[in-house]
Every structure is written in structure tokens, then in C-alpha cells.
Structure 1
């Protein structure tokens, strides 16, 4: 049996942009936790560290789709270069301000400006879509990207905190900023695989991709999915601490991510032919069902097993969700459409961490997992009710008439 991953990387240029893109997206995981590690050590105030980090994360969630919209209009090289320069300068200023004890308000300003950092997962998927459009290899490429995203979250956060603790407070942010600069510019220089700029026929000025019903449905569903991801992390930390084994939290969280990573690679290799909206429905249903045992896992081994099982559907959900976006969004809006979906994941993670933390504080560590169950049900209902639109029924060239009603 041929190795499908070897086949997708046999296309000239794919290894280069994939390697550069992996480096460039490490800051997605490194920067938010790196800001917390840096400021908590230098200022000794966790509220400040969390507030500055949240300013960056939430502002980036709102700005990155607009950056991607400009990419769809003017091309990757034309937009990524200035956006990355702004983000890199802002990160360096944030690091300098922290080190030199500049006024606190300046830290928030620099965090706000750093949010110009582009969504590299969207840029990578746009290149794969341009190469393998309407071909089965695209599902394998998306599977690889979802697995790479998992690896970024596993390695990035640990690397950022580890550097800050082992070397000096700003170390994690310095390396993260270097990865962003080197990775993005190496990515931009590879013009041979850059998607051509396309325009929507009869549409001037171009509308936002978030006004398309398929994008709205997928984004909302992945807000719920992102909530389950964050809830597992928060609850695992709280439960292992309550059980007197706080060091086991990293093992439990790692098992959660590894399960998703492995299943995602397998799915990409198998490349099932079932309709994507049906695959997504199955994935979110499994996600909801496997969350049910979580509140009842009373020991670390039981918790690890339950968390492993609950993570197996994460990558399949991401793979099929991005596949649907690629098919239901016009080519001229694809990068922005993918970015809105990744933004949904980020928003879900932020909301999930907050709600799970509140549940743990008020009802006990074990009960944080009820947030995962509720979020899983929300994802099932969203995808279930959206099946007809996600299937492309009553749509013309991937743009549903209902989109026009939403305008």
C-alpha cells in the first residue's frame, strides 16, 4: 500500500513551505503562555500576566480573519510580510517593556499590536487546497495539518514555559518571536506554491467569509469543540492536584493530545469516501459520547484512559471541518474562511477554560468535565441542524442562497 503522506510531499515545494509554516505557527501556542510565564516571573502578578495574554489572544482572534481577508484579495506575500513585521516589532517591544519595567499600560498596547500575527494554519491549508483541489490527496494534507496543529500545541507551550523557567523570563517569548520572523519570511519567499489571487464574480467589494452559512455553522461548532479541548486541560490539572499527584497533569494532557494526533494521521492515510458532513456528524457524536465518562474518573489511571478516549475524535473533527470549508467556500474567500474556523477553536478554548475554571472553583474538580459534556452536545446539535447546508443542498458553487438572506 502506497504511503499517502509520501505522495503529498512528492509535489515540488510542499516540504519547504510545510517546514517553514510549522516554524511560523509555533508562536500560536508559545506566545499566549509565554506572555504569562514572562510577566508572572518579572511582575509577580498573575492577573496582569493573564490580562495581557488575553488581550493578545482575543484581539488576534478578531484581527487574524481580517488579515486573511486581505490575503485573499492581495496575495500571501503582499500581506504576510507587513503583518509579520508589525507583530514581530510589537513582540520585541513587549519583551523590552517587561525587561525594563515600562508602564503597565504599554504592555497592553504592545500585546494589542502583536495581534497582527497572521494565521499560519490558514495559509498552509490554502496552499494545500490550491495544489490538490478536488482531489483525494487534499484530505490527507488536511489530516497532516491537523496532526501538526496538535504537535504545535503539545510542544509549543511546553517549550515556551521551559525556556522561561530554565533560562530567563523573556527566553520563551524571544524564541517564539524568532520562530515567527524566520518561519514566516521563509514561507513567503517560496512563491512557487503561493495560491493565485482570485476574485468572486459579480462581487465588488468582496464580502466577508463569515457571512456564508457553512462558515458560520462550522465556526460555531468548533467553538464548542475548542471548549472541550480547554476543559480537559483545566480539569485534568485540578483533579490531579486534588488527588495529590499534580505532576501527573502533564501526562494526562499529553495522552489527550497524543490520542488525537494518532487518530488524525490514521484517518488521513485511510482517506474515507463518505460525505464530509456525515463524517463530521460522526466525529462530533463520538466526541460527545466519549466525554460522558470523564466526570466519573476518580483515579489518575482512569482519568488518563478517559481523557485518551475523549481525544480520539478531535483531529477527525478538525480534518472534516476544514475539508467542508474548502468545498463550500469560494476560492477567493478560502483563506479567510479557514481563519474564521481556527478562530472559533481559539475562542472556544478561551471560553472553555474560563467556564471550566468557574465550575471547578464552585463545584469541585471533577465537575469541570460537565462543561465538556455540554459543549459536546452543543457541537452535535449545531452540526446536526446544519447537515443540509453543509452538504451543499440548495447551493450554487458552494455559496448557499441562505447566505444572501443573512446579509
Structure 2
């Protein structure tokens, strides 16, 4: 399969070169080199150079379109089910079932994608997931028995990990260019934050302005349309693992690869931060009589993470990812103390939103660094599976964090509940500091 080529000097050039008094964009391709040598205008930034890779804009547009519904489906299902069945307990149980099914099915879907190619597996898997969403919509609309809601939503577990597939394409296109890959991973993390920031807002707006099923219907359409566009970009698709390895070659599964178990444990603990923060913030806003402001406050946290992710990707780290991870997690833990202090102090929602904006700025660098290490420690040809295992760890942590945050808010107080994300981040920090086997060999 043809692959874009880049002009390189004997030593790989970084995306950014820091000098004593300026920050200069480094060369990234022959056209950028010619423009820089000619002195014609300001050199393009790292993200413009990243999206100048042939085919990058097309697969990114498709992937972002397919990824936006990931922030819509759960909220849409809760609004749709609770609005028609008058039961938040049923809505929560249905979405929890879908989350559990995804945790079981997603790694198998990713393994098939690695083995047979993105287009051959991701599109049929998406069709099954879209049919599951439409079945859920029809069951709710026509008053079907409750058990049908669980079955229909469980079928959506075949939804491919769109973010993982996009990261796999960047890893294929930017092979050997660590600086460019760092920028790509930061871009993808910022995209994740943006989609999970805009998705719930769009879902609630559609369900409220049109009809309860509108969020699910639009989400299913965007998922299918985006995946059709993404999988149509065959020139940037990584070759299947079967084509890259000889028959009979046995590999260590990603779950057992050296250094992977502690990384997945970090993902689990970080997911606990996300899950507990969401529930506790909703409870805190509701306790102060401003339940409708919870979405805006959580959006501030996602906005801080998105901005920090883009900034983090614009500079070239001076230390290896393994050495950076404890510092990133330590910063996340320290900044998460700020919302806890704000909630326990004045109880001001404005102050809480400001502290969540600051706290969010540490989550993206943590996730970018974690995902970079996951990529490096995943066996060759199994990248989608490795990335999906990391996402599965995050989902499991979100579920546990939601339960712990909800318990704290009910039995202690909403303000005390902010201790749960701090505790989860502290657990992640301890894991990164433990001298676990295989961590030294994988920088």
C-alpha cells in the first residue's frame, strides 16, 4: 500500500525547536521547507503541518463526525427513557448494561480490526450498533417491554473505538517521527474532549427542542455517515496485521505485554476521576438549586482539558513519556484539590467552575502521555486492541467512579464527594511511582 513520504535529514527534525530567544517551527515536509527557506511568511504551526499530511484531513473529518455521537448516546438514552417511562432508575440500568457490554465486546472488535483491516470490520460493526440504537428508539417509542431496551442497547456495544482507529492511522503515517506523533496524540485527546463537551449539549438540545428520540436518531445518523467517510479513506489505513506477519507467528497479547498492566490500572483510576467528577458536580449544582448549570460547569472542565491538550501538543517534551507520566498525574492530583476546596468553602458555582477549568488542564497531558505509552508498549499489529483496552479501562473506571461519587453525595454531602476524584487521582499517582516490571525498558 502506498504511503506518504517525508523529506528527512539524517537526524529526525523536531516539530518545534526552542532557541534562546524564540520558538521556531521545524521542517515538516518539502513544501514547508521551501516556504521557510524562501522566507515567504510565517512557518505553519504544528497542527497545520500535521493536517497537511496527505489524506489526514479526510479521515479526520470522518472520524470526528463518527466520534461526536459518543458523547450523545448515553445522555440521549437517559433523556429518552426517563422522559417516556418516568424512571431514571431504568434509564441508568439500561445505560450501565450498555457500558458493561461495551467493555466485553470492544476489545474483540478491535482485535478483528487489527487482523482484517479497519474498513472490513469497522463498517459492519457500526451498522450493527446503528441498528441497535434504532431498535432502542422504536422500543421506547412503541412501549415495548423493559427487557427489550436492555437487549437493544447492548447491541450498540459493537461500536468501534473511533479514537483508537484514528490514532492507529497517525502511528502508521508518522512512523519514526516521535515529535509529530506527540502532536497527533495531543490533537486526538483534544478532539475527544471537544466531542464529549459538545455531545451532551447537542443531545439535550435535540431532545428538548424536537422530540425525546431526536438525540438518538441524529447520533445514529452521524455515526454511520462519519464511519462511511472514515473507512472510505483507504490510502491512510494501516495494513492488517495478517499482511505484516508471517503465518504461525505468536505474539504476546496486549493485555500481557511488558508494562501494559500498570498503564491499564492508571486508565482505570483516571476513569474514576472522570466518572465521580461528573456525578458529584451534578449533585452539587442540584443541592444549591442550580441543577441546570451542571452541564455548563462540566463543560468548563472539558474546555480546560481541550485547551491544555492542544498546547501540550504544540511543544516537544524534553523528557521521555515514562518519566513525564508521574509528573502529569501529580499535577492532576494537585489541581483536583482546588474544586474540593471550593465546594467545601463558599459553595459558589462560579468559583467551582473556575477551579474545574484549572483542574481540567491537567487531564489532557495525563491522557496524552498515557496513550503514548500504550502505543509504544502494544505489540506490533495489535494497536487498535491495545488502545481499546485502555479505553475499556477508562470506561470501567468511569462506572466505578460514578458509583463511588453517587454514594458519597448521598451518604455524606455533595461537597465531600469531591474527595472521590482526588482519591482516584492519588491512586493513579501511586501506581505510576511503583517500580513495576517492564517499565524501565519501555520509554
Give the TM-score category using the shorter length.
over 0.9
Q: Which residue of 1 aligns with 2:429?
A: 380
| Residue 253, structure 1, aligned to residue 298, structure 2 | yes
Which residue does the alignment assign to 1:266? 311
Question: Which residue in 2 is equivalent to 1:371?
Answer: 420
Unpaired runs of at least 5, structure 2 = 1-23, 26-44
| 2:152 paired with 1:110 | yes
3-state SS of paired residue (1:348)? helix
Please identify runs of 4+ aligned residues in structure 1 that moved more than 4 A.
Answer: 199-207
Partner of 2:318, secondary structure, is coil
Q: How far off its partner does 1:330 sit?
A: 2.0
Are residue 351 (structure 1) and residue 351 (structure 2) matched?
Answer: no
Question: Which runs of structure 2 are paired with 1:258-337 in the superposition (5 Å)?
Answer: 258-297=303-342, 298-337=347-386
Q: 1:74 to 1:122 in 2, by over 3 A?
A: same
Q: Paired residue for 1:184?
A: 227
Verify the 8 A CA contact 2:201 2:295 in the aligned structure 1: no
SS of the equivalent of 1:389 reads coil
Partner deviation per Cα, 1:349-373 (whole Å, 9 max, x = no partner): 1211111010000001101111111
Q: Which runs of 5+ in 1 are unaligned?
A: 399-407
- Please report the TM-score for the alignment, with normalisation by the length of structure 1: 0.92
CA distance in 1, matches of 2:161, 2:340: 34
Which has the larger helix fraction?
1
CA distance in 2, matches of 1:34, 1:171: 8
How far has the Cα of 1:91 moved from its partner?
A: 1.3
Worse overlay, 255-264 or 121-130: 255-264
Give the deviation of 1:133 after TM superposition: 1.9
SS in 1 for 2:176: coil
Q: Is the 8 A contact 2:269 2:397 kept in 1?
A: yes
For the residue of structure 1 that corresponds to 2:240, the secondary structure is: coil
Are the counterparts in 1 of residues 67 and 195 from structure 2 also a CA contact under 8 Å?
yes
The match for 1:13 among 55, 63, 70 is 55
The residue number in structure 2 matching 1:31 is: 73
Counterpart CA distance in 1 for 2:412 and 2:383 is 42
- In our comparison, the structure showing a higher alpha carbon Rg is 2
Distance in 1, Cα, partners of 2:212 & 2:108? 32
Q: Deviation string for 1:24-64 (max 9, x for gaps)?
A: 11222111111111111111111111111111122112211
Distance in 2 between the 1:386 and 1:134 partners? Answer: 28
Q: Deviations over 1:217-271 (max 9, x none)?
A: 2121011112112222222222222233333323321221111111110010012
SS in 2 for 1:332: coil
Query: What is residue 275 of structure 2 aligned with on the other side?
Result: 230
Report if aligned partners of 1:217, 1:386 keep a CA contact under 8 Å in 2: no
Who is 1:154 aligned against?
Answer: 197
Equivalent pair of 1:328/1:390 in contact (CA under 8 Å): no
Of 66, 77, 87, which aligns to 2:108? 66
1:351 & 1:172 partners in 2: Cα distance? 26
Residues of 2 paired with 1:93 and 1:125: CA distance? 31
The 10-residue stretch of structure 1 (293-302 or 317-326) with the greater mean CA deviation from structure 2: 293-302
2:314 alignment partner, SS class: helix
Worse overlay, 332-341 or 204-213: 204-213
Partner of 1:80: 122
